[in-house]
Structure 1
């Protein structure tokens, strides 16, 4: 057995009557355990929130989105669409015109994001049937155009999908030259029948109205211009590989974005919050580990006689130093293992039983989302190891000095 760890274990787990130093060591272990458990739980919650946001955004966002590098729109042509469809891994190309519009329904009004999509949008299966709360997911039926409205907009407008007597009146403010006094030339207006209501995530539900591409093109007077092209890839292909091929083919005129890149600011903010939370809890772990420093300092003084005896029988200062480093490692590692187990058990209970609720009846999920990542466990163990080494170094050096000839 490793001699420093054997002696350190005897000091920590001695069966003799516990003294004040043993009590401080146990309290140090408990402090490390709770700090470690808190760190694992909070990091797992952040992982769960990120996964939840991804799943909700990914259900509405395209796998790949093509936009103009500069400007709001670009000219689309049959040749461009054919060029994109020939790229290996591309299954569907949906043309999109998206802009703000003003919606009036009965006595209610709202500013919305009107998204005109080509007929193959439904084939992308981005709005599952279980997310349709009223009506049907349809954009056209014969010559009739239908709008699919977010749940939040439907609530604001008190929309009655089954009532054919009222249509959505949609207005778009034109860019007009100075001096125009005729109000009818300042905006365009079109009516459309509400065909369905969807519910995905609050931001989308409160802002988006889906309409056929031809309807949006006429309302916005876009002609052959589009604001984006949305790509669905073949099953089993690498989205990153398809993105790379599309970017190489289209050049610098277009930017090709994956789902994460479409919300890069949101995910970057979430990662920054997770980082600062990790640093804050690491500071708490440092504070909780200070007790290790004091317990080792008092142990070094208390065991001064033992150290002198070890030195007399040939123990080197390095061996003495390693004993106290091992003592600190045992205290911290025991607390860390207990904390990891407690944190893991809590995360498992939350994941399977949702023991802590979000506290909102309208929330997407009843319990706080949790995702256990072994990277967090490894990072936490690494942080505990570094903190323990730094805190144990000074008491270990002090103890090794007691083994010098001057101290004998």
Structure 2
């Protein structure tokens, strides 16, 4: 029989506790419960945001992206492309030319990200599932079409499939001079293309990107055999990490091979850092809420002086007395933590299932706040509560174990 735990349970459930001690203990449990619930909910929201970012960018991001270490483009040839295609696990290779260009439509204009892709692009990208108007195909009856973001369409009021009002794309000519000619005909190369479809993925992409066939981009940008990136789709037979390592060894130090997370490392890192600081902040809030445990235990120690003296007279050691009050603090924190964890998990489950809390924005790509519970967050919260409980309980417990037997009988 664990005597300290038995006595601590009796103290916790005793109806004879003085009223003020009971009130402070109840406040402690409520504070721990609310803090634990809030911590679980907030961490789950950050997990949901991280998953949302991966989902949104996953519609346009490749499994692996090959880019040059120096410069924004690199020379390609069939030998290089065939070596990449022959790498085990490479299911599809897409050539990409991406650069800024000036887009004009009627009397309006804006700078856009022009992305020229080869014909097999939509075999590895899920952007076709994000089409809100028109068709995703970039070539129809051997004629080039552009796929534009919803923000670009809204900014320039672009009509879809209007061959009488095509888009005009301009790119500065590389004349070797430091100054740009004031004559548009000699300063820019120009190509016209019809807008064939509109996509809605994520605001940054929607507000700036236009997809065109790669041969159209070659003519406009004068890139020739140079490419800004190669996008790789990995087959199901191999892990992405293994193919990434093989390609990095094949291409050498002149190239970077990025996986999906590394393509948006800054954004994902920002979410993780913010989640860490939120966890630290809420842990301090839990610590402040748990200070009530310190005060209730301190008052309980004073109230139970005679009980402690009797236990010591009966042979109880200082360690036994100390453990009684450590267990008492642990029980108060444990009850609050269990209630908080239960409520937090229930609220997150309701949000995941019924989408109760909406984003409150008509233009949002999701209707409700994304939530994703992770076992690691629950375990981390539990560990934090254990550490906090020991921290606030140890001083009253040590005080109780040092009472002089002679003065309290």
TM-score by length of 1: 0.97
Match of 1:225 in 2: 226
Partners of 1:197 and 1:207 in 2: how far apart?
12
Match of 2:170 in 1: 171
Q: 1:20 to 1:78 in 2, by over 3 A?
A: same
Matches within 5 A, 1:67-216: 67-129=67-129, 131-176=130-175, 177-178=177-178, 181=181, 183=183, 184-216=185-217
TM-score by length of 2: 0.97
Deviations 1:335-371 (A, max 9, x none): 0010000111111111111221111111111211100
Match of 1:350 in 2: 351
Secondary structure of the equivalent of 1:287?
helix
Work out whether residues 32 and 285 of structure 1, in 8 Å CA contact, stay in contact via their aligned partners in 2. Answer: yes
Partners of 1:179 and 1:105 in 2: how far apart?
26
Match of 1:266 in 2: 267
Secondary structure of the equivalent of 1:252?
coil
Q: 1:294 to 1:159 in 2, by over 3 A?
A: same
Partners of 1:178 and 1:355 in 2: how far apart?
58
Q: CA RMSD in A?
A: 1.4
Question: Any stretches of 5+ residues in structure 2 without a counterpart?
Answer: none
Matches within 5 A, 1:251-330: 251-330=252-331
CA shift, 1:174, in A, is 2.8
Question: Any stretches of 5+ residues in structure 1 without a counterpart?
Answer: none
Work out whether residues 67 and 255 of structure 2, in 8 Å CA contact, stay in contact via their aligned partners in 1. Answer: yes
Secondary structure of the equivalent of 1:355?
coil
Secondary structure of the equivalent of 2:160?
coil
Partners of 1:273 and 1:279 in 2: how far apart?
10
Secondary structure of the equivalent of 1:358?
coil
Mean Cα displacement is larger for which, 264-273 or 153-162?
153-162
Partners of 2:406 and 2:44 in 1: how far apart?
52
Secondary structure of the equivalent of 2:364?
coil
Work out whether residues 97 and 117 of structure 1, in 8 Å CA contact, stay in contact via their aligned partners in 2. Answer: yes
